[in-house]
Structure 1
Amino acid sequence: MKVKNGMILALVSFIWGTSFVAQSMGMEYLEPFTFNGVRCLIGGVVLIPCIWLINRLTGNGSGVEKEKYKKKDLYIGGIACGVLLFLASSLQQIGIQYTTAGKSGFITAFYIVMVPVLGIFLKKAVGIKVWLGVALALCGLYFLCINEALTINKGDILTLVCALVFSLHIMVIDYFSPKVEGVKMSCIQFFVAGVLSLPFMFLFETPKLLNMGLSMGSLLYAGVLSCGVAYTLQIIGQKNMNPAIASLILSMEACFSVLAGWLVLKETLTIREGLGCIFMFGAILLAQFPERKVEKVEEREATDNG
Structure 2
Amino acid sequence: MTGTTRRQSVLAHLLLLATVAVWGGTFGVVKGALRDASPLLFNQLRMILAFVALAILHAREWPRMGRDAIKAGVVAGFFLAAGYELQTAGLVYTTPDRSAFLTGLVVVLVPLCSVVPRLHAPGASKPRATALLGATGAFAGIVLLTTPAGMPLREFTRGVNRGDVLSLLCAVAFAGHLLSLAHLARRIPTAQLATLQIGFAAVFMSIATPAIEHTYLHWTTSLVFALVVCALLATAAAFSIQSWAQQHLQASHTALLLALEPAFALLTALLFFGERLTLRSASGAALIFCSLVASELLSGAVSEQPEGNLILEGQSEER
Q: Tell me which interval the TM-score lies in, with the shorter structure as reference length.
A: 0.7 to 0.9
Matched-pair contact (CA < 8 Å) for 1:70–1:180: no
Q: Give the whole-Å Cα distance in 1 for the aligned partners of 2:268 and 2:309.
A: 49
- Structure 2 gaps of 5+ residues are 1-7, 311-319
Render the CA deviation track for 1:72-124: whole Å, top value 9, x for unaligned: 22111111111111111001001012111121111101011110111111355
Q: Give the whole-Å Cα distance in 2 for the aligned partners of 1:290 and 1:214.
A: 45
Aligned match of 1:236: 244
Matched-pair contact (CA < 8 Å) for 2:130–2:299: no
User: Are residue 96 (structure 1) and residue 103 (structure 2) matched?
Assistant: no
Matched-pair contact (CA < 8 Å) for 1:129–1:290: yes
Is the alpha carbon distance of 1:291 and 1:76 closer, same or farther for their aligned partners in structure 2, counting shifts above 3 Å?
A: farther
State the 4+ residue runs in structure 1 displaced beyond 4 angstroms.
Answer: none
Task: Report the 3-state secondary structure (helix = DSSP H, G, I; strand = E; otherwise coil) of the residue aligned with 1:302.
Answer: coil
Aligned match of 2:303: 297
Matched-pair contact (CA < 8 Å) for 1:91–1:158: yes
Q: Percent identity?
A: 22
Is the alpha carbon distance of 1:50 and 1:27 closer, same or farther for their aligned partners in structure 2, counting shifts above 3 Å?
A: same
Aligned match of 1:142: 143
Aligned match of 1:28: 35
Higher helix share: 1
Number of residue equivalences:
289
Task: Report the 3-state secondary structure (helix = DSSP H, G, I; strand = E; otherwise coil) of the residue aligned with 1:76.
Answer: helix
- Structure 1 gaps of 5+ residues are none
Q: Give the whole-Å Cα distance in 1 for the aligned partners of 2:128 and 2:261.
A: 23
Render the CA deviation track for 1:230-254: whole Å, top value 9, x for unaligned: 1111111111321111110111111
Q: Give the whole-Å Cα distance in 2 for the aligned partners of 1:107 and 1:42.
A: 29
Task: Report the 3-state secondary structure (helix = DSSP H, G, I; strand = E; otherwise coil) of the residue aligned with 1:215.
Answer: helix
Is the alpha carbon distance of 1:205 and 1:126 closer, same or farther for their aligned partners in structure 2, counting shifts above 3 Å?
A: same
Find the partner of 1:288 among 296, 299, 312. Answer: 296
Q: TM-score, normalised by structure 2?
A: 0.84
Over the aligned positions, Cα root-mean-square deviation in angstroms equals 2.2
Matched-pair contact (CA < 8 Å) for 2:12–2:245: yes
Which residue identity lines up with residue 303 of structure 2 in the other structure?
V
Matched-pair contact (CA < 8 Å) for 1:34–1:205: no
User: Are residue 3 (structure 1) and residue 10 (structure 2) matched?
Assistant: yes
Task: Report the 3-state secondary structure (helix = DSSP H, G, I; strand = E; otherwise coil) of the residue aligned with 1:297.
Answer: strand
Find the partner of 2:277 among 248, 258, 269. Answer: 269
Which residue identity lines up with residue 267 of structure 2 in the other structure?
L
Which residue identity lines up with residue 88 of structure 1 in the other structure?
G
